[in-house]
Structure 1
Amino acid sequence: MKKVPTLDIRRYDTDREAFVAELGAAYREFGFCCISGHGITAQLIDGAYDAFQRFFALPTETKMKYHIPGSGGARGYTPFKIETAKDSRYPDLKEFWHIGREIDRNSSFAEVMPPNIWPAEAPGFREFGYELFESLDLLGNRVLRALALHIGLPETWFDDKIDQGNSILRPIHYPPIQAENIPNVRAGAHEDINFITLLVGASAEGLEVLTREGEWLPITTEGDAIVVNIGDMLQRLTNHVYPSTTHRVVNPQNANARKPRYSVPYFLHPNPDVMLDPLPQCISADNPCRYDTPISSHEYLMQRLREIKLI
C-alpha cells in the first residue's frame, strides 16, 4: 500500500540535494509529506495542547465571549457547525480558535489582519499558543526553501513573500461522537486555501488523503513527525506542479469515536499583496499555464472564505 513518506528536515543541512529531490517527489505525488527532526519540543506541543483543551472545556457562554460575529472567525473563537466544506451538505463537527500574526498596527496590512484576542480563563494559552505559532512559522519557511530549490527558484525566494503573511494557528476540538445517525465525517473533504499547512500532534486517528488513484489513504505520524501539505494558493502559484490534495477527517471506526479529538493546524499564508500568478519555472509544453486572471492572495482568501461559509 502507498504511504506518505516521513523525511527528516535536518537532512536539508547535511544532505541537501537528495533531501530536496525526495521532498519534491513526495509533494508532486501526494501533496503531503511528514516532517521529522524539526526541533519543536514535546514540552511546547504538550503545553499548547493542554492550554487549548482547558479552553475548550470552558462553559459555552464563556467561550462565546470571544466569538466576533461578522469577522469570518479571523481571530478568537468559532463555535460548532459554522464552517462547512465547499459543496458539502453538512457543517463540520468542530469548534476552533484562531491565533494570527502579531504585526505593527501601523502596517499597511493592519486593516486585513486584526489583532489577536486571548482568553483570560485559560492560563498559558497566549504564551504556548504564540510560541507554537512562531515555531511552526519558522519550520514552514524551511520547508518552502526546499520546495523553492526543487522547482529551480533561489532558496530564499519565498522569504519576503511570507514574512507578513496572514497565517493562522487553529486549535480545533472535535467533540466525542454520541449519536449513531450523524454523517461519518468530522471535517468534510476539502483542500486548504493557503501556501502550506503544518499539522502538529493530532491526538487521534482520522486524517485521510485522497490519492491520485481515487483511494482514501490514512495518515498516521510516527515520533515527532508533523504533517505538512500543499494548499490551493501554492498549487496556483506553481501551476499545479505542487498539488493541493483533497483530505478529510473521518470518525474512527472504534472506541476513539467516543473520545474528543484535538488537532492544531498552522495555515501558512503569503503576505496579503502577493500575486498568485503561475511561475514561469512551472509552465511548460507539458504543463501549460492554467490561470490567466491575476489575483492577490487576500482577494483569493476572501473568495474562499465565502465559499466555506465563514464570511
Structure 2
Amino acid sequence: MNQTVEGRIPVLDVGPMLEGVPGAMDALAASIARSCRDTGFLVLANHGVPQALADGCFEAAARFFALPEEEKLALKVGMLNLGFLPTGAQVIRTSTVNHNTKPNLNESFYISRDYAADDPDIVAGKPFIGLNRWPPGLPGFREATMAYYTAMQALAQRMLPAFAVALGLAPDYFAEDFTDPSCTLRLIRYQPQPEAEDNRFGFAPHIDTNFITFLAQSALPGLEVRTREGTWLRPPAIPGTFVVNTAEMLGRYSNDRFAPTPHRVVNASNQMRYAIPFFFGPGNDAVITPVPSCVSETEPAKYAPLRYLDHRRKLNQTNFAHRQQAGETVA
C-alpha cells in the first residue's frame, strides 16, 4: 500500500547553509547523511531558486507536448538522447529491483548544456556532447527551459559540498570531478493510468544513474519511493520545494554507504502529469572511485574505478530502443 510516512523523508531548510551561516554546513550534512543511509530521498526548502523559473519550465513542457505528433517526431532523439523521446521507446532493462518488460508510459524531451554550433567540443565531436534540438514554433521555450537548467546546475553545485561533508570529506572533495558536470533536464508527460496494469508504469522501478537528482514538485502525485523494508511511500508534497534523491554514482563514491533508493511513477489520476527532473552527474572524464572515508580493512572497496563516460554509454545502449536499432553492441 502506498503511503507517506511522517519524517521518513525529511524536509531540510538549506537556506542557512547557502547563506554561509557558521555551523550550518555541518548540521545540514548530518541530516543528509541520516537520510541517505535510510531512504536516499530528502526535500529541500529555502533553496533560492525562484518558483517562477520552475513554473516557466512546467509551462514550456506542457506547450511542447501539446504540439502535433509529427512536429514532436521531427525532433526525435538520435544517438545522443537530445530532443523528443516518444512513448514506448524506453524499457528500463538495467533495473535490479524489478523485471521491467514494458515501456514506460510517458513521453520525454531531453535538454543538456546549450552549445553553439562552433563550440570547440562540438566541432571536435566529443562523445556525449551535442546540440540541443529546439522546437521552431514555440517562442520562449528555449529561454524558459535554459533559465531553469542554469539555475538548477548552480543549485546542484552549491549543494555538492554538503554531500562531501556528509561522507566525512572536505567540502571541496568532489570539485574536480564536477568542474564540467554532466547535466540533463528531462521534460516528461505521463499519460493517465487510472487502472493498474500488470508491470506497466509511468516510470518503471529503477535507480537513477547519475549523482543526485532534483525534482520540482509536480501538480499531481505519482512519485513513489521504496524503503529498505520494501514499502512504497510518497515524498512530502510541499509546493516550492525540491525532492532530491541519491543516484548510482554517489552510491559508488560512497562504497554503498549512500546506496541509491529505487523509485517509480504511477499516474493514477485521469489527467496528464508533468515532471521536470534535473539530473546532476560528474564530468564525462571523471573516474568514480570509492572515497577514502568509506573504505577500510573491514569495508574494502566494492567497485573498481569507472569512467563516467563509459557508464553513460552502456546505459544508453541498454535502455533505449533507438540505440539498439542502430546496431550497437550492448556490453
Structure 1 length normalisation: TM-score?
Answer: 0.91
Partner of 2:96 in structure 1? none
Partner of 1:8 in structure 2? 13
What secondary structure is seen at the aligned counterpart in 1 of 2:289? coil
When structure 1 is superposed on structure 2, of 175-184 and 157-166 the one drifting more is 175-184
1:183 Cα deviation from its structure 2 partner: 4.8
**8 Å contact kept, 1:96–1:172:** yes
CA separation of 1:208/1:178 partners in 2, compared to 1, >3 Å: closer, same or farther? closer
Equivalent residue for 1:308, pick from 316, 319, 331: 319
Instruction: Give the aligned CA root-mean-square deviation in angstroms.
Output: 1.9
Query: What's the CA shift string for 1:149-195, capped at 9, x where partnerless?
Result: 12222212223322322210001001223777575521100000101
Q: What pairs up with 1:219-234 in 2 under 5 angstroms?
A: 219-234=235-250
**How many residues of Structure 1 are paired with residues of Structure 2 in the alignment?**
304
Structure 1: stretches of 5+ with no match in the other structure: none
CA distance in 2, matches of 1:109, 1:147: 33
What secondary structure is seen at the aligned counterpart in 2 of 1:298? helix
Partner of 2:37 in structure 1? 28
What secondary structure is seen at the aligned counterpart in 2 of 1:258? coil
CA separation of 1:181/1:237 partners in 2, compared to 1, >3 Å: closer, same or farther? closer
1:223 Cα deviation from its structure 2 partner: 3.0
**8 Å contact kept, 2:57–2:145:** yes
CA distance in 2, matches of 1:80, 1:124: 25
Partner of 1:106 in structure 2? 120
When structure 1 is superposed on structure 2, of 116-125 and 103-112 the one drifting more is 103-112
CA distance in 1, matches of 2:195, 2:32: 41
**8 Å contact kept, 2:217–2:239:** no
Equivalent residue for 1:196, pick from 189, 195, 212: 212
**8 Å contact kept, 1:51–1:123:** no
CA distance in 2, matches of 1:54, 1:84: 26
CA distance in 1, matches of 2:307, 2:29: 28
When structure 1 is superposed on structure 2, of 74-83 and 114-123 the one drifting more is 114-123
CA separation of 1:155/1:88 partners in 2, compared to 1, >3 Å: closer, same or farther? same
Partner of 2:89 in structure 1? 82
Structure 2: stretches of 5+ with no match in the other structure: 94-98, 324-331
Equivalent residue for 1:61, pick from 62, 70, 76: 70
Give 1:143's aligned amino acid: M
Q: Does residue 128 of structure 2 align to residue 116 of structure 1? A: no
Q: Does residue 255 of structure 2 align to residue 244 of structure 1? A: no
CA distance in 1, matches of 2:160, 2:194: 40
CA distance in 1, matches of 2:193, 2:82: 27
Query: What's the CA shift string for 1:108-164, capped at 9, x where partnerless?
Result: 783321121211222221111011111111111122210111222221222332232
**8 Å contact kept, 1:98–1:170:** yes
**8 Å contact kept, 2:110–2:186:** yes
**8 Å contact kept, 1:113–1:166:** no
Q: Does residue 215 of structure 2 align to residue 206 of structure 1? A: no
Identity score, percent = 31
Give 2:86's aligned amino acid: P
Structure 2 length normalisation: TM-score?
Answer: 0.86
